[in-house]
A and B are shown apart, each in its own frame.
Chain A
Amino acid sequence: MLAESAQPLALTERLLHLRTLPILSRLTLAELAAIAPYLRPRSFAADEVIARGDEPATTVHLMTAGRARMLRGGHLFGHLETPDAVGFLPLMARMPDAFEVVAERPTRTLELDADTLMEILEDHFQLLIGTLRVTSRAVLAEFREIPPEQKRILFDTAPPPAHAAPALPPRPLDTVERLFHLRRMRPFRHTSIDSLALVARTMTEVRFDAGTMLWRVGDDAKDVLLLLSGRVIGRSGSLVEEFGPGVAIGGFDAMAGEPRWADMQAVEPVVALRGSIELLLDVFEDDHEMGRDFLAVSADLLVRIWEDRARRGEPVWPAVQRLRALLREAGAPRR
């Protein structure tokens, strides 16, 4: 493979193509040149399966020509074409069974092993952060559209019954108590305690009286609030919903780097932990596994939202299109 791919023309073509891929767009040419020889050119006839739907993704196919349909549980999720990457989202979401992708017409791809892709993500932290931001944006976009009752099931944001809320001591929480609360959150369930302790230490305990406006639509989103007690109402247009203890609010907009999408107001006295997303990203830099866990949770959530759409008979392709657009936007040069 290496000897063949070392041809100047083949390498040049691959470099030009790699440069157009949103997922790799932050890499320098020299870094892309290091990846190019590890891509295997693959061809698929019309109706040939590119990725199976009954096994986890072990490779990513970077589409260079052709078109393919993406299916899940018999539902059409969308169409893929260059510069889409088959298998990327399932791999990031650690899905036990990937999307089924079938070529609609003769299709060519460059295949990259999952291990190599993971190595790239590990070596280039900015790619991990970029991907995390894009999936957060996509989840956030869905968040604005999903009915509250559906959201509670998918996002697990239902306020717990009063008796289930953990009792708070009358004093500020210490680091260990903060750890208990953080550990209950899905992205942190398997994360390193050392890293989590670092996050816990950098968080600030905040208290709001009933009626306090936590933020308004359009405000800068830099922090996430982990609600420890009290209830909060979010309003965006006609959408109104309630959040309670154990729920982290404002995390997706902060991670996505987008302004606040809803007004958030305390309806009861609220105690919460405020954490800076920037500091969280710093922790990810030292603990890639934690960053990968976070990404897996976001990507998995996105896939579950799409599945839910399909179950409710709604078309999924607009959501897939949105993700593609976000990816391209994120990959657009910043210079």
Chain B
Amino acid sequence: MFGARMFRITPMDRTERALAGSAFATLLGLTAGHTLLETARDALFLSRVSPAQLPWLYLAVAILGVSATLLSRANRARPRRFALAAALGGAALVTFAFWLLRDRQSLFFVYALFGWTGLFASWVTVQLWTLLGHSFDVTQAKRLYGFVGAGAVIGAVIGPLGARVLTARLATPHLLLAAALVFALVGLGPALLLGSRAAALPGARAAVAEPATATGDLSLVSSSRYVRHLAALVLLSTIALTLVDYMFKREVALHVAPAQMGHFFATFYAAVGALALIAQLFGVEPVLRLFGVHRALWVFPSLLLFGATGLLVAGALVATLVLKTADGALRHSLHRTSLELLYVPLPDGVRRRAKPVIDLLGQRGGQAAASLLILAVVGADGSRGGRLLLLLVLPVSLVAWLVVARGLRPIYVELFRTTLREGSLMPQWGLPKLDLDALETIFAALNSRTDDEVLAALELLAAQSRARLIPALVLFHPSRAVVLRALDIFVQEGRKDFIPIADRLLSHQDGAVAAAALRARTAVAPDRELLERSAVGACSPLQATAIAALVAHGWEAKGAASLTEFAAQAPLEARVALAAAITELLREGLGNEPTGTGERATARGDRLAAIRARFEGALMVLADAPEKAVAASAARALGTLRSELAIPRLIRMLGSRSLRPDARQALATIGPPAFVALSAALADHTLDVGVRGNIPRALVEIDAAQASTQLMRALLEEPDGFLRFRVLRALGRLRRFDPNLTLDSKILETAVDRTFEAAFSSLHWRLEFRRHRDEEPARETPSHELICSLLVDRYTHAVERVFRLLSLRYPQEDFERVYRSLRSRDNRQRGNALELLENLLVGRVRDLTLLLVAPMEDGDRLRRAAALVPEHGATLTFEVLLHQMMAAGGSLSVLAAYHAQEFAVSTVAPAPSLVRPATPAAGGLLDGRPAFAG
């Protein structure tokens, strides 16, 4: 019944339902059978043996557990299809054998039963949860483990109730037969189904069994900080819970008659089971949702600590009953679910290897440590009593448990960060350091028949400051690209040994090669005579280069006039060469010269003015050339000249894709005057959007600090959504260049707030729009489809913008990677991203961000959003809905107005109170609380 309820309230797809349903039924049967077995065990043991023997039994179970774990090592690569069913079948047979031997009164029988009960449960349970951990990602696990875990708590109610009924009519040992029957039924039914369904999952085929060794697995624990913490958590919780168990049983043995023990345990376990069920149904999911996995880990030990210290005054019996009740209510619900969730972010291979080791070290080690503690504190005969334990050892172990649980959080979050980084590009990878082998490889590549490989070798050598090793003979290479690149590198390196070969290249049949050779050799060793010789003749690239060089050096009588004339009349190839030559000459003449101060600056300014006078006119002509290559070169050169006259031209060039990079670079070189002009252009709403949209990035490249102020203002004030997006992207670039740049957090938070508003209003409108369509099918016109698509787009864009804004607000976290992971095809990657988000953000920003991206039905998403922002839950009339969309601005306004006309809806807005403003009033979304947890 409860399972059915959970089934309904937990959203699941078909595959999830099949798997989780089988797991639920398996866990239910397993726990019911096990509680039958436990009831029989506790009653039989305590009626025949002194509770002082319990520590020894705990110790024995721990040792047996270690042996069993080591024996089962070979079977843990990936849970096999029938392994769980076979384990339950085996358990049924062994339990049946105990029932057959029930009349033996020997102590060995009681001890063996005790050992078997302790061993079997953890053995089968580990198999079950490992199988589930393999089958679900972290998001699925958080959603479904509550439901699956409910099987255990329902079993923990049904089992003791069954035991209570049976012990009222039959002797306690018959509980063993009942347990065996339950195990057999579960093994043949749901466990078999679960194994088959898990094996049929898409990822199952890819699972590969890693060879494992005991030392290898132990080293996994020692090498992984997370696994180490997890093992410590299990160890400390097991110590504390074993102490509680011992104290409870000791008090029961002292206060309950042996004949009544079966009935007492059955009744007590049934009551505790009922509490556990309530906790599972109403506590686990809200606790996990409200506190997150890591904080949920604090709840159980905190309650136990409170019980252990607060109830001391009430006496040992009451205290232990309360503690055991808390244990029974929360161990298999909240504690188990939280612990299992901690395993999910581990990679499959690591989890498969780590879980048995943690079980070995944590559970068995914890049992052994607790046994030794009990023996040390109360004595081998139990004479010193349990109060001492309660006073001294239990609180200490609980505090230690809390400390470890607290310390787990940063490691847990880091694990998700690491997982998201895997498989993503890491921009910090650098070029390889060149050792002898690498150099040999590169030199072999210089002789390659593939031009690209030769170029790659040249670039690698240049990038690693080994350009001096490039042989000058490479200039005889048949590829134009190789020769041009080599010349470029030689000039940058300041080499002169290539000049004889460059001079030979002046007669090269490829004009571009000849011009480049002249450019390069002039850059390192200008030769007037050579230039004058080359300047004579047809309008060739070589002549263009020579004239530019002559003018640059003041060796041309006609000076600037000859250049301008040439620029206006020369054929394309020559103009390209002219632009390239001027750029190169300016780069050599001015580009690398330090600005300096005082006289030096004045001298440089004079020189710049003189050069500008020579070249500016020609460059202006070239910048207007229809050929992109010419105009782009001219733009670069005008930048180098710091030509303020060229600024309007350069701003116009931002509208052209092919000229944009050069124009941007030129504006950046010109500096402050360009910044002022660009700022004015950004504010000019009459300017072409193609130009305006490229201004934010251009501003960033001129002056990052000033640009940030300007762009942050535009982020809130710019009415055009497209421009705001460009502003956001430009700010992102700014942040990447300088992660320490201070950006106004209030503005960013307001922008996040508005983006949430845009996202949820888009969702709200879409659902309302569809509702109206369902009510009146005639409303489904072509514009209806466009509006729906647009609202989906607006939502998607808003999500992207939220993450861009979060990246700006919290530069220490990689929200871009989180966003990418959320869009991954890999469920596990998406789940990890969600879990990381949940841990990185806090408060309302966390809730709203998770609502934006968590997998759920749109209706459910909107309902939850309405709980945080009530206006998103409102039912809107068709007219109000259209008016709200018309007020939203951009394409939506246009489409909504069109749709309104289709249905003769008045385009005059209704009463203002009915229409939500398109942009909410600026205000703190975060209510003064920090949005960030770490």
The answer on A and B forming one complex is yes
* Given A20-B450, A335-B488: A176 in contact with B481 (beta carbons within 8 A): no
Binds A, one of B338-346, B358-366, B568-576, B782-790: B782-790
Query: CB of A321 within 8 A of chain B?
Result: no
The interface residues of chain B lying within 8 Å CB-to-CB of A193 are 786, 789-790, 793, 891, 895
A8 touches which of B424, B433, B456, B481 (Cβ 8 Å): B433
Residues of B within 8 A of A17 (CB): 453
Given A33-B430, A197-B894, are A281 and B657 also a contact pair (CB < 8 Å)?
yes
In the docked arrangement, what's the CA distance between A332 and B438, Å?
Answer: 24
Is B460 within 8 A of A119, CB to CB?
no
A283 to B, closest residue via Cβ: B722
Binds B, one of A35-43, A89-97, A148-156: A35-43
Answer whether residue A74 sits at the interface, using C-beta atoms and an 8 A cutoff: no
Q: Please, how many angstroms separate the alpha-carbon atoms of A136 and B401 in the complex?
A: 64
The SS class assigned to the B binding surface is helix
A-B pair number, CB within 8 angstroms: 148
A33 touches B690 (CB 8 A): no
> Would B456 and A13 count as touching, CB distance under 8 A?
no
Set of chain B residues within 8 Å of A11, measured between Cβ atoms = 431-432, 438
Q: Which residues of A contact B425 (CB under 8 A)?
A: 34-35, 38, 116, 119-120, 123
Contact residues of A between 14 and 73, Cβ < 8 Å to B: 15-20, 25, 29-30, 33-38
Is B452 in contact with A20, judged by CB distance below 8 angstroms? yes
Interface contact A335-B481, CB-CB below 8 Å:
yes
**Complex alpha-carbon distance, A194 and B723, angstroms:** 13
For chain B, residues 463 to 492, give those with C-beta under 8 angstroms from any C-beta of chain A: 463, 481, 484-485, 488
In the complex, which residues of chain A have a beta carbon less than 8 angstroms from the beta carbon of B825? 115
Cβ-defined contact, B431 with A19, below 8 A: no
Inter-chain contact B891/A30, CB cutoff 8 Å: no
A residues near B485, Cβ cutoff 8 Å: 333, 335
Task: Say whether A8 contacts B898, CB under 8 Å.
Answer: no
B453 touches A16 (CB 8 A): yes
Residues of chain B within 8 A of A35, CB atoms compared: 425
Interface contact A333-B455, CB-CB below 8 Å: yes
If A12-B441, A194-B793 touch, whether A33 touches B429 (CB-CB below 8 Å) is yes
Bitwise interface map of B from 771 to 799 toward A, beta carbon under 8 Å scored 1, else 0: 00000000000110010011001101100
Given contacts A33-B429, A115-B825, contact A194 B891 (CB under 8 A): yes
Main secondary structure of the interface of A (DSSP, over half): helix
- Chain A residue at minimal CB-CB distance from B820: A119
Query: In the complex, are the beta carbons of B783 and A19 less than 8 A apart?
Result: no
Q: Is the CB of B790 within 8 A of A8?
A: no
Q: A137 CB to closest chain B CB, in angstroms?
A: 17
Instruction: Give the interface residue-count category, chain B.
Output: 35 or more
Neighbouring A residues of B459 by C-beta, 8 Å? 19, 29
A residues within 8 A CB of B690?
A: 202, 279, 282
Given contacts A30-B430, A194-B797, A282-B690, contact A12 B460 (CB under 8 A): yes
Flag whether B426 is at the interface (Cβ < 8 A).
yes
CA distance A149 to B921 in the complex (A): 60
Q: Tell me which of B451, B453, B484, B895 contacts A176 (CB under 8 A).
A: B895
Q: Which residue of B lies closest to A119 (CB)?
A: B425
Residues from chain B with Cβ under 8 Å of A286 in the complex? 722, 725-726, 729
**Least CB distance, B577 to chain A, in whole angstroms:** 14
Check: A207 CB closer than 8 A to any chain B CB: no
With contacts A8-B434, A30-B430, A333-B455 taken as known, whether A282 is within 8 angstroms of B657 at the C-beta atoms is yes
**Least CB separation from B693: chain A residue:** A282
Q: Is the CB of B789 within 8 A of A19?
A: no
Chain A contacts with B in 257-301, Cβ cutoff 8 A: 278-279, 281-282, 286
> What A residues does B890 contact at CB under 8 A?
194, 197
A12 proximity list for chain B (CB < 8 A) = 432, 434, 438, 441-442, 460
CA distance A279 to B690 in the complex (A): 8
* A194 and B794 form a contact (CB under 8 A): yes
What are 19 pairs between A and B in contact, CB < 8 Å?
A7-B432, A9-B438, A13-B441, A15-B460, A16-B442, A18-B456, A20-B452, A20-B456, A29-B431, A29-B459, A33-B429, A34-B425, A34-B429, A115-B825, A176-B783, A179-B786, A192-B793, A332-B481, A335-B484
List chain A positions with a Cβ less than 8 A from chain B.
7-9, 11-13, 15-20, 25, 29-30, 33-38, 83, 113, 115-116, 119-120, 123, 174-176, 179-180, 183, 192-195, 197-198, 202, 278-279, 281-282, 286, 331-333, 335
Chain B contacts to A: CB under 8 angstroms:
423-435, 437-438, 441-442, 445, 450-453, 455-457, 459-460, 463, 481, 484-485, 488, 656-658, 690, 693, 721-722, 725-726, 729, 782-783, 786, 789-790, 793-794, 796-797, 820, 824-826, 890-891, 894-895, 898
Beyond the given pairs A16-B456, A16-B457, A29-B431, 19 more chain A to chain B contacts, judged by CB atoms under 8 angstroms and listed by A's residue number, are A8-B437, A12-B441, A30-B430, A33-B431, A34-B425, A35-B425, A37-B426, A116-B423, A176-B783, A176-B786, A193-B895, A197-B890, A202-B690, A282-B690, A286-B726, A332-B452, A333-B451, A333-B455, A335-B488
5 closest cross-chain pairs (CB), A and B: A19-B456, A11-B432, A193-B790, A197-B891, A20-B452
